[in-house]
Amino acid sequence: MTNSHAARDIDTSRPHSARMYDYYLGGKDHFEVDKQAAENVASAYPGIFTCARENRAFMHRATRVLAREHGIRQWLDIGTGIPTEPNLHQVAQSVVPDARVAYADNDPLVLKYAERLMRSTAEGRTTYVEADVNDPQSLLDAPELAEVLDFGQPIALSLNALMHFVPDAQDPYGIVSRLLDVLPVGSALALSHCTPDFDPETWQKVTDIYNNAGTPVQFRSREAVARFFDGLDLLDPGIAVGHRWRPDTEPTDTDAEVSLWTGVGIKR
């Protein structure tokens, strides 16, 4: 897991969703091809920058709620993306210093910057697993997970802005169910997912941009996103637009600008 290995594998000939997301957040870990594709999305949907920002904010709030109110001390964060501070483990460890976090992604550029994800508190632990959500068994079998996470204790499965990159043909509900099946009672699912519900025409344009760039996407309705939580107890306020899930301040953006369904459910 070396930087040189990652650098050899980085494909700069076409845009990558993680690097485009970095651009939306104002980061610097992307290439010109990613910037161009991201600007194409922004021209069709100017709210993409708001959506990305609110997605991060939801992750922060959901992590704090699970740590403070539900006793969660472990996280499995899949589709981590390029590190943007504060990262999930920094949020969790600010509440519970002994929190343990395992990150998983299959993008070589994320791997290149993975050392940023390893800066844990002395009491806690973090690790990084190179794995693909479309192969959940391989991810679960990774020895790094067993070194950091105790599958006998509750774990929060964090899937932020990930599952819309798993079209129905790849069995997204089966993947999430497989991951949840191995987690004990008291575990949680925190999930965010872009939606066309508030502006279908615009989101069809966004879909076309991603698909034409070689990144299959399927943005889903509120009902379809709620299916990921089947069998779980949803925390209030249930499935909500990102900026309306337990906001720290009164929301000012419109639902259409955010266009992101979010939710947190507990396994009973």
**Is the pLDDT score of 88 beyond 60?**
yes
**Euclidean distance between CA atoms 160 and 155, whole angstroms:** 15
Sign of CA dihedral 88, 63, 157, 148: positive
**Euclidean distance between CA atoms 266 and 103, whole angstroms:** 20
Confidence band of 1 (pLDDT split at 50, 70, 90): very low
Distances (CA, A) of 158 to 13, 74, 102, 183, 259: 30, 10, 10, 13, 19
Confidence band of 7 (pLDDT split at 50, 70, 90): very low
Q: Of 100, 101, 103, nearest to 83 (Cα)?
A: 103
Q: For 211, what's the count of Cα atoms within 13 Å in the CB-facing half-sphere?
A: 12
Q: Of 169, 178, 189, nearest to 140 (Cα)?
A: 178
**Is the pLDDT score of 146 beyond 90?**
yes
DSSP summary character for residue 195: -
**Is the pLDDT score of 6 beyond 60?**
no
Would you state the pLDDT for residue 9? 66
**Is the pLDDT score of 119 beyond 90?**
no
Q: State pLDDT tens for residues 237-249.
A: 999 999 999 999 9
Q: State pLDDT tens for residues 37-52.
A: 999 999 999 999 999 9
17/227: higher pLDDT: 227
Considering the entire predicted model, what is its pTM? 0.92
Residue 262: beta bridge partners? 192, 240
Residue 265: beta bridge partners? 189, 234
**Euclidean distance between CA atoms 202 and 231, whole angstroms:** 32
**Euclidean distance between CA atoms 262 and 93, whole angstroms:** 22
Distance between alpha carbon 202 and the CA centroid of its chain, in Å? 22
Would you state the pLDDT for residue 90? 94
Q: Of 235, 181, 212, 251, nearest to 37 (Cα)?
A: 212
Q: State pLDDT tens for residues 174-220.
A: 999 999 999 999 999 999 999 999 999 999 999 999 999 889 999 99
Confidence band of 2 (pLDDT split at 50, 70, 90): very low
Confidence band of 3 (pLDDT split at 50, 70, 90): very low
Of the chain, the end-to-end C-alpha distance in Å amounts to 37
**Is the pLDDT score of 26 beyond 80?**
yes
124's tokens: 């806690």
**Euclidean distance between CA atoms 263 and 189, whole angstroms:** 8
109's tokens: 């550029």
Residue 126: beta bridge partners? 101
**Euclidean distance between CA atoms 3 and 106, whole angstroms:** 14
Would you state the pLDDT for residue 109? 77
Would you state the pLDDT for residue 121? 85
Q: Give percent of the chain with pLDDT exceeding 90.
A: 78
Would you state the pLDDT for residue 115? 73
- Cβ atoms of 136 and 120 within 8 Å: the answer is no
Q: Give percent of the chain with pLDDT exceeding 70.
A: 96
**Is the pLDDT score of 106 beyond 80?**
yes
Would you state the pLDDT for residue 5? 38
**Euclidean distance between CA atoms 219 and 167, whole angstroms:** 9
